[in-house]
Amino acid sequence: MISGGRLHRTATVLTASTTTDNLGRRTNNYTANGAIRCDMREQGSQESVYADGVAVVSNWEIRTRWPNIARVGLTEVDRLSVRGKTLRIISIVNLDEADRVAVIQCAEVQ
């Protein structure tokens, strides 16, 4: 169970585009598709090789109610925007398979 008092952040769900380019890859466009109340916890940061250089990757854990995830149709290809941070979803876990709490592991590349 997750306490309602912990859900003091609002996350905007950015849904991935379903269109593809000439090579058949998904285009990199996201559209706002609703909002969910959540709890946001930092899991640490590390430097890592990214594209042509080095970037700081911050890991975050987002907790929300499972029905919210089902309502907006959130998947791992979507993004979340919380407190000005755009987070890439790594995994979505249905805690204890109870359909009550969703634990979303995310990463932010700075």
pLDDT band, very low/low/confident/very high, at 98 (cuts 50, 70, 90): very high
pLDDT at 21: 78
Q: Is 2.40.10.270 the CATH classification of the domain at 4-109?
A: yes
pLDDT digits (tens, 9 = 90+) for 34-88: 999 999 999 999 998 877 888 899 999 999 999 999 999 999 999 999 999 999 9
pLDDT at 31: 87
pLDDT digits (tens, 9 = 90+) for 2-31: 666 788 899 999 998 877 778 877 777 888
Domain map of the chain by residue range? 4-109
* pTM, to two decimals: 0.86
Residue 15 in tokens: 């849904």
pLDDT at 76: 93
